[in-house]
Structure 1
Amino acid sequence: MSEDNLLRDVLRSGVLADLPDRHFIDGAWRPASGGGVMESFDPGRASPHAVFAAGDEEDVAAAVAAAKRAGEGAWKKALPRERGRILSRTAELIRQNSERLAIAEVLDSGKTISEARGDVAGAARCFDYYAGAADKNEGKSFPLGEDYSSFSLNEPVGVTAHIVPWNYPLSTAARSVAPALAAGCTAVVKPAEQTPMTALMLAELLHMAGLPAGVCNVVTGTGSAAGAPLAAHPDISHITFTGSTATGMGVMQAAARNVASVTLELGGKSPNVVLADADLDLALDNVVGAIFENAGQICSAGSRLVIERSIHAEFIERLVRRAQDLRMGHGLSETVNFGAINSAGHLAKISSYLDGARARGLTVATGGNVAADPATGKGWFFEPTVIDDLAWDDPVVQEEIFGPVLAVQVVDDFDEAVAAANCTRYALVAGIFTRDLSRAHRFARAVDAGQVYVNEYFAGGIETPFGGNRKSGIGREKGLVAVHSYCKVKSVTVRI
């Protein structure tokens, strides 16, 4: 079936045939030890589209044991260049299966097909990048004088756990699994229970690319039944977790009991600063994308607009029109550019913030209501929303809503813009739009954030380290620094 026909067929039927419904452990599909299954829901229809295994501690133990065996066997013996070849073949297989992966991502997550296609392309690029890093994970030499030879080795930490969120299931799995494998580690992946499919599909593609059995395993199920036992398992050496700050703190506590290291990419409430001298057309395009891409369900979303008073009224008027022009609907419809909210529970959370905002008398410039797919009347949707001229201590400014809700803070000058940018407990991303690059550099130094975007929100790529400070997390993903997260350094000193 052609890709166009496949897309139309799935949009009509609501089902993508032959999706995986079991764990992937030790190179094979396995049912849940207890025989249980769960439903995966299509947010665009608010109805189930597939089933998958409901894993528990026994399944996690089997996956970790398989990963440990593989790490002490075939994978340990694999040359770095061979690891790189497997990752490179995986990138090619992702591209060959890109449309099927993208459709599965839409059905699980609710995002648009164009967004999902971008995620799949990014996952392939991720494996390309770390394929090139596998045989370049070099140590250092230390100058102790002519009587000694001293050097370091970067060794894999061992079995790694990857707890993946529901908003970017494939790309988040790729950006942690690929560097872990490049470093020579083995992996156990626990995708979110809302979006299990593409992690399972990725594991199969890795196996097809030549990855030995047990090197990458996927256990599906709830966070309490499968995620918690994985984080607490004594044979896990490193945990990479992406999700809420509260859950991340629990993961860190579990890791501490086994002295395991962690990479935590947690919440965000990122400011997007627009100064009066900015290219306003450019800024407007980026502000819209920063908050309304993936219906705002992005940890690094530009969920706060910090704008100078002299351009505030004109900019908000134009922004409201752009928000109202977005085309909401099921993500598999190629005429849509604004998708669904991932679950009924999350939709209720977003809606509760707007109930509170109205009760406090705040100005909702546009949106603010639960909605449905105009074509079917179904699905979990929330209107693109802008809440204007907020006090800095308002909950809409301070708390991560994780939806298509933009909080506007009006400031009088550059210094106040910096203060506004730094006014929350989060420090993941910050953006600024200005023609004055001197002020942009001053902002980049003054703002507390893991990454700063100047005149393009979401700038960068897999080459650029990504992560947060304060309540936004610890450690960095992406870039070569990610490989180092999965290594332990051994120094060797020889008296000559």
Structure 2
Amino acid sequence: MSSITEQLIGEYFATGTLAGLPSGHFIDGKSRPAATGRTMETFDPGTTKVFAQFAAGDAEDVEAAVASSDRAFRDCWRKVAPAERGRILQRAAEGIRANAERLAVVETLDNGKSLAEAQGDIRSAARLFEYYAGAADKLQGETIPLGMDYLSYTSLEPVGVTAHIIPWNYPTSTMVRGIAPALAAGCTVVVKPAEQTPLTALMLAEILRDAGLPDGVCNVLTGTGTAVGAPLVAHAKVRHITFTGSVNTGSLVMQAAARNITSVTLELGGKSPAVMLADCDIDAAVEDVLWAIFSNSGQTCSAGSRLVIERSIHAEFVERLAARTRKLSFGHGLRNPEIGAISSQEQLNKIAGYVDEAKSRGVRVAVGGSRTVDQASGSGWFFQPTILDDVGPLDVVVQEEIFGPVLSVQIADSAEQALELANGTAFGLAAGIYTRDIKKALRLARDIDAGQIYINEYYAGGVETPFGGNKLSGFGREKGLEGLRAYCRVKSVTARI
């Protein structure tokens, strides 16, 4: 741990906050209070205590931010040479790396995750800017062969003002996953972070400004989904919406967008299976499945929240996985445990409700199953890493997203039944496949209905690989070159010569 990180941690535990945290909206290159002057509080999940305040926006603030981004798009950003846009994004990547330690500490305080996980998220955000910096000057159209008497070609144009509704589980990396390709394409952005985790979005806006991004190109509004998110996605000047969150809210976003014929990218819930065939490498798979579900305390849309496993290895595998789970350390994120806090009291109650109801139905708890606290302080929103064993295919904990450190185990008698169970929910975000037989793996990869498949390593891939879901998990893709498509419109030009 560096001396800077140690100083920040020391300051926080001594004072209960950090000096210089942003508190206002970021509009037109400046911090400003909410139009009403109202504020909200943000809590440290590791202690349950307030550690900062921020602006509580409303429709008046939304109007100011969208007007600013619309102006910046028409008068400035779309006219900036693509290579220069790339240079600005590259400087933003460098700015994130220069401020990585402070960003990671603030992310831990706002979200509750471990410091190591927050540090990884900050590295990912820098890499996203770096990746799309390289793509900015490579967005090019095509010529179309219509014969000697015509010249026909296409060009890619930015769609305009884009809105980005950011979830609380990965505040920094999810924000950058959307805004980096949008900025690379020449769009302007209005960002609405979750009210539970607003601070790093405001810090990133400052980094972008310092990297040379013109005023108004990136605006950040804080507040509730009702007061800020709803008027933002309904605004007529917003031409694309990128939303990450729940299925119910995603449906409302689509309805609001439809009134203005605004395009949307939706990354919604998941109930992703880790399919374990009998010939898998059990030693490697146990460790991999552990982190597929328990990373970020299970608060990951693409988490491997179901283990679909062949019966012949079920008992041994679950026993070994449960033993490994019992050894996991948990506590305040700044003490860098393996498992951090649940991000809010509301989410903790939701997780506990699912598990308590499962126990009342007779579902066997192989390990965990209860709320807990940080043993060093006796406080915080924590839930024990939990494995629910031999769960029926229609059980609620198999069919619904819990969004916490809870793994539901389903037993299959063959690879064919494993496929049926894997596809047996309304979600289709991700799936893991574990086998030594590449033919079996590729057949399952072909037949599982999910947006991304991981073979023998959950979360395999990275910034370069497209990410998104099928069925109730949403549509559209982020990351990779596919992530640029939503922010470009195609214009065709044909001339008789």
Task: Note whether the superposition's TM-score is higher than 0.5.
Answer: yes
Q: Report the equivalent of 1:451.
A: 452
The letter for the 2-side match of 1:410 is: I
CA contact (8 A) 1:162 1:187 kept: yes
The within-5 A match list for 1:3-402 is 3-334=5-336, 336-402=337-403
Q: Provide the rounded CA distance (Å) in 2 between the counterparts of 1:9 and 1:229.
A: 38
- After TM superposition, the structure 1 stretch with the greater mean CA deviation from structure 2, 127-136 or 8-17, is 8-17
Q: Provide the rounded CA distance (Å) in 2 between the counterparts of 1:15 and 1:293.
A: 26
Secondary structure at the aligned position of 1:430 is classed as strand
Q: Report the equivalent of 1:436.
A: 437
Q: Provide the rounded CA distance (Å) in 1 between the counterparts of 2:142 and 2:448.
A: 33
Q: Provide the rounded CA distance (Å) in 2 between the counterparts of 1:16 and 1:295.
A: 25
Q: CA deviation at 1:282?
A: 1.1
- The unaligned stretches of length 5 or more in structure 1 are none
The within-5 A match list for 1:446-485 is 446-485=447-486
The letter for the 2-side match of 1:221 is: G
Q: CA deviation at 1:481?
A: 1.1
Q: Provide the rounded CA distance (Å) in 1 between the counterparts of 2:143 and 2:349.
A: 56
CA contact (8 A) 2:78 2:158 kept: no
Determine whether 1:418 maps to 2:419.
Answer: yes
CA contact (8 A) 1:11 1:332 kept: no
Secondary structure at the aligned position of 1:2 is classed as helix
Q: Provide the rounded CA distance (Å) in 1 between the counterparts of 2:66 and 2:394.
A: 45
- Write the deviation string for residues 359-414 of structure 1: whole angstroms up to 9, x where unpaired: 10110111110110010001000000000001000000000000000000011110
CA contact (8 A) 1:55 1:222 kept: yes
Q: CA deviation at 1:208?
A: 0.3
CA contact (8 A) 1:84 1:131 kept: yes
Secondary structure at the aligned position of 2:31 is classed as strand
Q: Provide the rounded CA distance (Å) in 2 between the counterparts of 1:108 and 1:396.
A: 28
RMSD between superposed Cα atoms in Å = 0.8
CA contact (8 A) 1:11 1:333 kept: no
CA contact (8 A) 1:39 1:52 kept: yes
- Write the deviation string for residues 124-155 of structure 1: whole angstroms up to 9, x where unpaired: 00000000000000111111011111110100
CA contact (8 A) 1:26 1:214 kept: yes
Q: Provide the rounded CA distance (Å) in 1 between the counterparts of 2:328 and 2:388.
A: 17
Relative to the length of structure 1, the TM-score reads 0.99
CA contact (8 A) 2:4 2:101 kept: no
Secondary structure at the aligned position of 2:151 is classed as strand
> Could you tell me the percent identity over the aligned residues?
62
- The unaligned stretches of length 5 or more in structure 2 are none
The letter for the 1-side match of 2:339 is: F
Q: Provide the rounded CA distance (Å) in 1 between the counterparts of 2:365 and 2:327.
A: 17
Secondary structure at the aligned position of 2:249 is classed as helix
CA contact (8 A) 2:310 2:413 kept: yes
Q: Provide the rounded CA distance (Å) in 2 between the counterparts of 1:76 and 1:46.
A: 44
Q: CA deviation at 1:13?
A: 3.4
Q: CA deviation at 1:475?
A: 0.4
- Write the deviation string for residues 41-98 of structure 1: whole angstroms up to 9, x where unpaired: 0000011110000000000000000000000112122100000000000000000000
Q: Provide the rounded CA distance (Å) in 2 between the counterparts of 1:8 and 1:314.
A: 44
Secondary structure at the aligned position of 1:305 is classed as strand
Secondary structure at the aligned position of 1:477 is classed as coil
Relative to the length of structure 2, the TM-score reads 0.99
Q: CA deviation at 1:3?
A: 2.7
Q: CA deviation at 1:5?
A: 2.4
CA contact (8 A) 1:190 1:226 kept: yes
- After TM superposition, the structure 1 stretch with the greater mean CA deviation from structure 2, 215-224 or 480-489, is 480-489
Secondary structure at the aligned position of 1:332 is classed as helix
Q: CA deviation at 1:12?
A: 4.2
- Write the deviation string for residues 175-234 of structure 1: whole angstroms up to 9, x where unpaired: 000000000000000000000001100001000000000000000000000000001001
Q: CA deviation at 1:266?
A: 0.1
CA contact (8 A) 2:466 2:479 kept: yes
The letter for the 1-side match of 2:269 is: G
